[in-house]
Structure 1
Amino acid sequence: MEEGDGSRFPFPFKPYPIQESFMDALYAVLDQGKVGIFESPTGTGKSLSLICGALTWLRDFEEKRRKEADRLLQAEKKKGGSEEEGNGCEKTAVQGEKGGPEPDWVSEFVQRRAEREIVNKLKDEEIKRKRREDMLEKTRLNAKLKHSMKRKNNDDDETEKLLQLSMQGAGSEVSSHEEEEEELIVADYESEEENTLKNRLCGGDDDDDDDLEEEHVTKLYYCSRTHSQLAQFVHEVQRSPYGSTVSLVSLGSRQNLCVNPDVVQLGSVQLINDRCMELQKNKHDKKKKSEREPKRGRGSVMVTCAFSSYEKMMSMRNDVLATVSDIEQLVQHGRATHTCPYYSTRLAIPAAQVVVLPYQSLLHAATRKSSGIKLKDQIVIIDEAHNLIDTVTALHSSEVNGAQVCRAHSQLTQYCERYRSRLKAKNLMYIKQILFVLEGLVRTLGGKVGRNPVTQTTQSGTELLTINDFLFRAQIDNINLFKVQRYFEKSLISRKLCGFAEKYEGSGVTTHSAFTNKENRRTEGLGHFLQNLQSKAAAPPEHQVAVEDRTTMASPMMLVESFLFSLTNSNKDGRVVMEKQACLAHSSVKFLMLNPAVHFAQIINECRAVVIAGGTMQPVTDFKQQLLLSAGLSEERIVEFSCGHVIPPENILPIVLCVGPSGQELEFTFQTRDTPQMMEETGRVLSNLCNVVPGGVVCFFPSYEYERRILAHWETTGVLQRLVAKKKVFQEPKKASQVEQVLSEYTKCIQHSCSTGGGQSGALLFSVVGGKMSEGINFSDDLGRCIVMVGMPYPNIKSPELQEKMAYLDKHMPHLDGRSPGKALVENLCMKAVNQSIGRAIRHRGDYACIVLCDRRYSRGSTLQKLPEWIRTSTHTHSSFGPAFASIRRVWCVCVCVCVCVRNL
């Protein structure tokens, strides 16, 4: 490792000037507690710049705190016995403060008193830390003692248990069944007001628990979209100068971190979460039960997770803090030590300096709380943030269809009937309120509960309502949804209902004597009813998969719960979209979050500084208006930084092509793009490009539908055959599981043609903007020597959701440059998608490519300004095809000559 000459930032090599500027700007944002929007193109070492710049600031910040604490402690020691003298002067000092200019000795005294308060605070924190360490040590010791006693008790009770089993016979099965039933019943519920009153009457106080909670050190929270991007960041940390000194923990979902084979095999995220939480609950319930009844010796066995030993998790927690590890390394460690990585990593959060986690874990308040994430005075870095607004919006939007609401109502009804005699009045009251709400949801969709939603017909149409209007329409405006929300959270009714449905749905219902004949018929009817919901004859094949997946992969009550939580948002911040289809089962209600700033404001207000970074952040006006300024942030606290690329300017040739080879004007509007003339002209453009561009050409279409239509036209007119004669043609697959295979074949074809020459020269890949290959895929080197953008991928302006979003922005956002915020949103969404697609080509310093934007509308000044600066400054607009094609041919002739010379050497 070496540092750049004269650089204050440790770096694995001499940083580029743009990296130095990036780290300087980042350091200033963190030091001044601001919010920064950072744009650094892919291939410029953005991750390393973030790591070295942020960790250098953290190192300096901790060093300043240590020096300040040492200075104050030393000053306290030097003063020695001057405490009494200072106290004697206090009255005089106060009198001096009331009138006239203060003498110097008064100012010195006030400063000494402030320093003394800081010293006392440091001492108090040290005492608390010591108490926490002592308590943790006692907890570990108690756990070891309990483990030893448990083994002894198990040995002593083995004979008694066997005897009990032999005597009880069939009775033990009844006991086991009763205990399983007990797990499904919601516990006695007390509202928040009742709990508060009870604590006051009983003198309950949780302050001691708060004191014993481990203190969070100043840290960096780094988040990105996918686990692969997070793993790449962790690897960059490992090879950075801070790799051996920083304490880093990687967080992930149970699906990614669980090492219990019995749980992992469930597959579904929802099932894995439910089973894990059930096992953890069993562990706590078993502990409480053993304390109450240490020697009952009953025949039932309460299953717990064998990987969640506290001693082992604390040991793994220490290993995690000592060595920088990614998700895969954590899973390997967990399997080797028979320890749960999911909970071990959460134990490591307070002491970690860097916490690496996915978007969802940071941007959702409930997830932050459950994960133990505390943002107060911390640093948050959000990488790959080009779709941050969409992510926040999606996280706080929700949707539920008619089949799921009916299923939730049927399950809860039977649950209530099954356990009515064992449920307390408070639980019954809230369950009846939830049933009433579910009936209201079905009623708004034009159906009735208790009937098969597949056979219930509704009048098709889409309607948008405010939250208040929807509550009135559903006739549930008299229900306090905030109290219902707390009941969901405290009672865990959704999870219990999921367990109830899993146990009794379909088969095995009639074997339990606890059911009456009437109850048996009802529960059996539920099984047949649910099977009918998934009847393939009742729905079109393309719609069946979506409905079945949503029904089977997630608990219906959990989806309903999420939707009801959404309705507690402010009336102006969201809308409810009612979409009625031909039948009730396929109709849906969706909550659309219009103001993501409401939720992002929590992060901004708590954190010391926030950094929003990405390879392509243009246009940044959306981030500023919709996320930052709307969250109450002042313009002075926002810092924008954008750097160029490390490639030489001659390595990129962006061209706006206004006219095709035959003189046809290229403007792919809704009225002209489907005409035969426009489709054939597009084919001529591609044919000419494929004749001169070696390696790979990637062509992006604005939508899957337009790609289908234009390829069908080319096939009938012979254009596609001409393209195949020059380059092998590939098409983006519709299934995500097939992407790797297509990319692999595309890569092999290009590598083979580049090494052998002759015949087909490379490959042509047809893709779609916003599709599976427009983000996260690298078309570096010969894989993407030319990127062609056909038309402008504007979103569907007729979408009710988009229209409502535009109306909201027009009402609440200021007009810029004389244009309405709604229209600006449409163009910004288009250009964000374009920027992501064309950025697939240039991936490192030595890369080069040509970018062809086929649409005269790209030549407009307002549109060009929304291209990344490093592309915009090199862009050339051509109003005729000849000069444009000549410049492309000239560039590739030079490049081919250079490649031939290098190959001969």
Structure 2
Amino acid sequence: MEMSDLPDWDSDWAVDVDWDLVAEEATLGGVPPPATVGVPPPAAVGGPPPAVGGPPPAVGGPPPAVGGPPPAVDFPFPFAPYDIQRQFMSALYDLLESGGVGVFESPTGTGKSLSLICGSLKWLSDWEERRRLQLELALAPPTTTTSAPPTTTSSAPPTTTLAPPPRAQAPDDWVASFVRGKAERERLETLKEEERRRVRREERVAEMRRDPRLRLLSKRKREEDRDIERLMALSKSGDGDDGGGGGGGGGGGGGGGGGGGGGGGGGGGGDAADEELIVDEYESDDEEKAATDRGFDDDDGEDGEEPHVTKIYYCSRTHSQLAQFVRELQRSPYGASTRLVSLGSRQTLCVNAEVRRLRSLQAINERCLELQRNKPRETRAPQEEGCLSDKKRRRRRRGGGAAVSGPCPYRAPSSVWEVSQAALSRPADIEELAALGKRLGGCPYYGGRAALPSAEVVVLPYHTLLNAAARRAAGARLAGQVVVIDEAHNLVDTITDIHSARVTGSQLCCAHSQLTQYLHRYRSRLKAKNVMYIKQILFVLDGLVQTLGGKTGANPNLQTLTSPGTEVRSINDFLFAAQIDNINLFKVHRYCEKSKVGHKLLGFVERYMEQGMGQVASHSSTSSPSTSSLTSFLTSLRTPGSQAIGEAGGGEGGAAGGGEGGAGGGAGGGGGGEATSRSSPLLLVQSFLSGLTNANTDARVVLTREATLAPSTLKLLLLNPAVHFAEVLRECRAVVIAGGTMQPVSELKQQLLLPCGVRPERIVEFSCGHVIPPENILPIILSSGPTGQTFNFTFRNRDSPTLVEEAGVTLVQVCAVCPGGVVCFFPSYELQRTMSHSWQHTGVWQQLSTHKKIFQEPKSAREVDSVLAAYSCSANAGASAGGALLLAVVGGKMSEGINFSDHLGRCVVMVGMPFPNARSPELQEKIAYLTCHVRGEGGRDAGSSLCENLCMKSVNQSIGRAVRHRGDYAAVLLLDHRYRSHGSQLPGWLRGSVVAPPSLAVAITTLRQFFVDRKAASTSSSSC
């Protein structure tokens, strides 16, 4: 055969491949591909479902999946669900089936969490059942079937066939046949392996649930492994401990004799303990290529990790809300069969007492990673540790890097595996998972990560899901999965806050000083690429400090700035002003992440700061001058009267009214000597540098110059949160955004969903009414006080003595007719203090105290629980005690996430409207961005409606603290005439019941009659 007779491989190979077969293999072979949010939807939500494992169909849709969903889904529920709960679950099921984005609004008290659980898990169980049927069908042996009578004139009788008769093949059809046969064999092997994994997974979990003795056997095996490991360590260290001392002494002598010449001479050649503080060799180009080829970070998962099953990621704002969700799931019909895992930080899950003692999250993360790098031969048995002298034990625990020798005893693979399997056997929240790890002797942090691939429900906080780096570090993979974001009324602000960054002048100076000392000490031991990047970081730090008006060579507490004030710059302008526009910040930030130079620096500072405080003088002959200057610099930052590193960051956040510090601290929050020694300012700078890599239009830099350099700040303000949420929408099959009050939804769509490329027809909105009857809620808009003074609590008028007096007298009359507890919200801390102080001098305070015992929102978050407990006792004390009055702040510690049900919140009073501070430079930049880049509904300017939306969201959240269940009742009193024009933005379940009496007298009469009727109805129902 001539060469010309051979097939053309470059052209014919691709032509004859059966791509339908390849597509079928992709559909059946593994985790379903993501349902891209932006693709055209089905004709209607709940229409023909997509093929199992595939994305949502295009218009016209493919044939339904095997055994598609039943026409009317029967949802398992712990009791007969309300109609609105059934509607909620049906809409949720349709959304998960078709894919897309859903905005679900269900008022607090309507069983939203239970509806989310039962609706989503019903879909997941149906999905898995259809998936299992498809696997069985695909793996079933071929059965013989009788073919239809032939249509040709042949006289041959009907035959039993396995396939259609072979068609005439072209000479090169053997290539296509080979490819088709190979693809079919590989497909079957993949399906068989997937089925084997599924069976093994279910058997493991069933055995752990059924037979607790397996845990004991696992624990015994783990103890045997530890005994073997300890014996091997002792046998290896028997000679090493004796010989190591002489070797170390020789190394030290050599270092002393020849160390005078270079930068490393100060440390000597015998500084073997410093090896762990040296950054590894780094080649950015090779690393970048490897990361691109790999498509996933080496640190994000282990090789050979079990493929992820289809799962539901549920996230919420706080650990208490996540724990409440887990408890609801435990009580649901799915509680006994669902594989759930809770993800959290090392700070919440670490069970190693030596590590938990550090308290700082950065220090805990670094120590955990350090213990994993330690070799097993350094492990000592507990009885060995007891044999050490007190002096040796103190020396082992004193330094930064050598505080805990040997690997973490909770990190053994068998221990982690045991925790992961136990976690999957029964749903557990964060605290229960930590207790489980402590009881089983395994790490719950890594146990949760190990259980992640097999979990059906993953519970995690906002930051872990919405931050890409945290998501990868936790091992969460969103491709083809379902994400449920609960309590999402502040989702836009949450994403903005997560990806904004803030550093102080003291942190910048400290990072520069620490890194300078690090470079001086280890320069001769660092690779050239590391030295180059460290010098670039130092150059960047110097430029950042100069933009604030300071310099890096002096104590920031003593540097006085000549022009205090606030300035906002675009990213490009800021980079030019700092003279770092020629630096590739993408590479610098990647170097910081991959080399972990921030963590290395933390260990370096801890070691030489803690040891150097009392020993630098005695070791001055062997320590470099730079190390001594490091200790001096850090000591100056901790002297009385100076501001500690991280202390200047507290107090950011605050009430919606733009008053004073609120519930959250800034990026550098903490303070005190412990925060100084246990946190790395370079890690904070690293977050700021990451923000500088945003597009020029997506962020701004806010420079706040104080009287001195130390408290002055640089803040990276994110203006376009959609750029960071787009990845979640792009990867997931469906995203559910749920909350008790989601109005106004237009803000969510304009700022987050539409800019991400989500088509309007792919956004499903569901809003249900409240379970309470209309007669159980009384919303009143009160426009004037007892003398007819108009309530107009604008920023200009709210300090008016007449207005303050009118509000106080109104509150007295309200407290006189309302039973139980009354919660009064103010727009800001400043207005609360102003009114309280005025009332104490005019006698209003004394009148209030005759009707109710008065409580005020505490300044410290640690006092919230005690104040709430005392308020609850007074509010529930009965009619003879009069009840209680709680003065709180919108956007403060008590306006969200706290339950004021029944007698705790019989009346909610809203004084004024909590508009944000319009003079804030950050708010002005946000308004300008929205005006230029976001199109509002009905042609309205999105920027101009921002303040109004922020205000009404805060009002709706505060109102939602009351009326928590079907039998509850409460009144809502809105003291400001402006609510008349903003009533359309109140919650839908409340809007239809709003009344606006012409005077205070009529309002009090209406209020009194409401409580009389509710008391009578309650007495009547209880007697029945």
TM-score by length of 2: 0.78
- Partner of residue 221, structure 1: 313
Distance verdict in 2 for CA 1:304–1:663, change over 3 Å: same
Kindly provide the CA deviation profile for residues 386-438 of structure 1, in whole angstroms up to 9, marking residues without a partner as x. Answer: 11111111111001111000000000001000011111111111111110111
- Partner of residue 464, structure 1: 568
- Mean alpha-carbon deviation: is it higher for 787-796 or for 518-527? 518-527
- Partner of residue 478, structure 1: 582
Distance verdict in 2 for CA 1:671–1:257, change over 3 Å: same
- Partner of residue 596, structure 2: 492
Task: Give the letter for the 1:455 counterpart.
Answer: L
CA distance in 2, matches of 1:869, 1:114: 58
- 1:543 deviates by 7.6
- Partner of residue 295, structure 1: none
Distance verdict in 2 for CA 1:118–1:249, change over 3 Å: farther
Indicate yes or no: 2:688 matched with 1:563.
yes
Task: Give the letter for the 2:736 counterpart.
Answer: V
User: Which runs of structure 2 are paired with 1:499-898 in the superposition (5 Å)?
Assistant: 499-505=603-609, 507-508=611-612, 520-537=624-641, 546=650, 549=670, 552=676, 554-754=679-879, 757=880, 760-860=881-981, 863-897=982-1016
Query: What is the SS of the residue equivalent to 1:391?
Result: helix
Query: What is the SS of the residue equivalent to 1:846?
Result: coil
Distance verdict in 2 for CA 1:890–1:155, change over 3 Å: closer
Structure number having the greater helix percentage: 1
- Partner of residue 455, structure 1: 558
Aligned partner (choices 52, 59, 64) of residue 118 of structure 2: 52
Task: Give the letter for the 1:471 counterpart.
Answer: L
CA distance in 1, matches of 2:227, 2:777: 69
* Structure 2: gaps (5+ residues): 1-71, 147-159, 205-218, 254-267, 380-395, 397-401, 651-667
- Mean alpha-carbon deviation: is it higher for 324-333 or for 675-684? 324-333
Task: Give the letter for the 1:63 counterpart.
Answer: E
Task: Give the letter for the 1:693 counterpart.
Answer: C
Kindly provide the CA deviation profile for residues 811-831 of structure 1, in whole angstroms up to 9, marking residues without a partner as x. Answer: 011133453211211101001
Distance verdict in 2 for CA 1:534–1:247, change over 3 Å: same
CA distance in 1, matches of 2:137, 2:416: 38
| Paired residues of 2:420 and 2:448 also in contact (CA < 8 A) | yes
| Paired residues of 1:415 and 1:497 also in contact (CA < 8 A) | yes
Query: What is the SS of the residue equivalent to 1:823?
Result: coil
Kindly provide the CA deviation profile for residues 30-63 of structure 1, in whole angstroms up to 9, marking residues without a partner as x. Answer: 0010100001111111111000000000111111
Aligned partner (choices 275, 284, 288) of residue 182 of structure 1: 275
- 1:715 deviates by 1.1
- 1:894 deviates by 2.5
Query: What is the SS of the residue equivalent to 2:697?
Result: helix
Aligned partner (choices 17, 20, 33) of residue 83 of structure 2: 17
| Paired residues of 2:237 and 2:377 also in contact (CA < 8 A) | no
CA distance in 2, matches of 1:812, 1:129: 50
- 1:70 deviates by 2.6
- 1:193 deviates by 3.0
CA distance in 2, matches of 1:20, 1:817: 33
Query: What is the SS of the residue equivalent to 1:429?
Result: helix
Task: Give the letter for the 1:126 counterpart.
Answer: K
| Paired residues of 1:72 and 1:115 also in contact (CA < 8 A) | no
Q: CA RMSD in A?
A: 3.6
- 1:450 deviates by 0.9
- Partner of residue 100, structure 1: none
| Paired residues of 1:165 and 1:172 also in contact (CA < 8 A) | no
CA distance in 1, matches of 2:434, 2:781: 49
Task: Give the letter for the 1:745 counterpart.
Answer: A
Aligned partner (choices 495, 509, 531) of residue 406 of structure 1: 509
| Paired residues of 1:398 and 1:566 also in contact (CA < 8 A) | yes
Distance verdict in 2 for CA 1:88–1:116, change over 3 Å: farther
Query: What is the SS of the residue equivalent to 2:854?
Result: strand
| Paired residues of 1:418 and 1:515 also in contact (CA < 8 A) | no
CA distance in 2, matches of 1:889, 1:177: 84
Aligned partner (choices 521, 531, 542) of residue 418 of structure 1: 521
- 1:674 deviates by 1.1
CA distance in 1, matches of 2:950, 2:926: 12
Distance verdict in 2 for CA 1:82–1:268, change over 3 Å: farther
Query: What is the SS of the residue equivalent to 2:790?
Result: coil
Aligned partner (choices 469, 472, 479) of residue 369 of structure 1: 472
CA distance in 2, matches of 1:309, 1:766: 52
| Paired residues of 1:282 and 1:302 also in contact (CA < 8 A) | yes
- Partner of residue 436, structure 1: 539
Query: What is the SS of the residue equivalent to 2:280?
Result: coil
Distance verdict in 2 for CA 1:884–1:448, change over 3 Å: same
CA distance in 2, matches of 1:237, 1:886: 44
- 1:440 deviates by 0.5
CA distance in 1, matches of 2:429, 2:553: 49
Query: What is the SS of the residue equivalent to 1:189?
Result: coil
- Mean alpha-carbon deviation: is it higher for 23-32 or for 809-818? 809-818
TM-score by length of 1: 0.88
| Paired residues of 1:509 and 1:524 also in contact (CA < 8 A) | no
CA distance in 1, matches of 2:252, 2:161: 76
Distance verdict in 2 for CA 1:424–1:883, change over 3 Å: same
| Paired residues of 1:440 and 1:475 also in contact (CA < 8 A) | yes
- Mean alpha-carbon deviation: is it higher for 166-175 or for 368-377? 166-175
Kindly provide the CA deviation profile for residues 519-574 of structure 1, in whole angstroms up to 9, marking residues without a partner as x. Answer: 64433333332233344535799986847835626310000111011111111111
Task: Give the letter for the 1:407 counterpart.
Answer: C
- 1:153 deviates by 3.1
Distance verdict in 2 for CA 1:473–1:89, change over 3 Å: farther
CA distance in 1, matches of 2:748, 2:565: 33
Task: Give the letter for the 1:387 counterpart.
Answer: N
| Paired residues of 1:506 and 1:528 also in contact (CA < 8 A) | no
CA distance in 2, matches of 1:471, 1:358: 34
Kindly provide the CA deviation profile for residues 644-689 of structure 1, in whole angstroms up to 9, marking residues without a partner as x. Answer: 1111110000011111121111111122211111111101111111
CA distance in 1, matches of 2:191, 2:378: 36
Indicate yes or no: 2:512 matched with 1:446.
no
CA distance in 2, matches of 1:882, 1:145: 80
Query: What is the SS of the residue equivalent to 1:811?
Result: helix
Query: What is the SS of the residue equivalent to 1:12?
Result: coil
Distance verdict in 2 for CA 1:32–1:850, change over 3 Å: same
| Paired residues of 2:520 and 2:626 also in contact (CA < 8 A) | no
| Paired residues of 1:252 and 1:327 also in contact (CA < 8 A) | yes
Query: What is the SS of the residue equivalent to 1:845?
Result: coil
CA distance in 1, matches of 2:824, 2:889: 8
- 1:312 deviates by 1.5
| Paired residues of 1:790 and 1:853 also in contact (CA < 8 A) | yes
Indicate yes or no: 2:379 matched with 1:252.
no
CA distance in 2, matches of 1:363, 1:121: 35
| Paired residues of 1:308 and 1:340 also in contact (CA < 8 A) | yes
Indicate yes or no: 2:131 matched with 1:28.
no
- Partner of residue 103, structure 1: none
CA distance in 2, matches of 1:585, 1:806: 30
- 1:332 deviates by 1.7
Aligned partner (choices 225, 243, 250) of residue 164 of structure 1: 243
Distance verdict in 2 for CA 1:185–1:93, change over 3 Å: closer
Kindly provide the CA deviation profile for residues 815-853 of structure 1, in whole angstroms up to 9, marking residues without a partner as x. Answer: 334532112111010011101111111111110000000
CA distance in 2, matches of 1:339, 1:312: 4
Kindly provide the CA deviation profile for residues 851-899 of structure 1, in whole angstroms up to 9, marking residues without a partner as x. Answer: 0000111111xx2121111111111122322322221111122234456
Task: Give the letter for the 1:891 counterpart.
Answer: F
Task: Give the letter for the 1:785 counterpart.
Answer: R
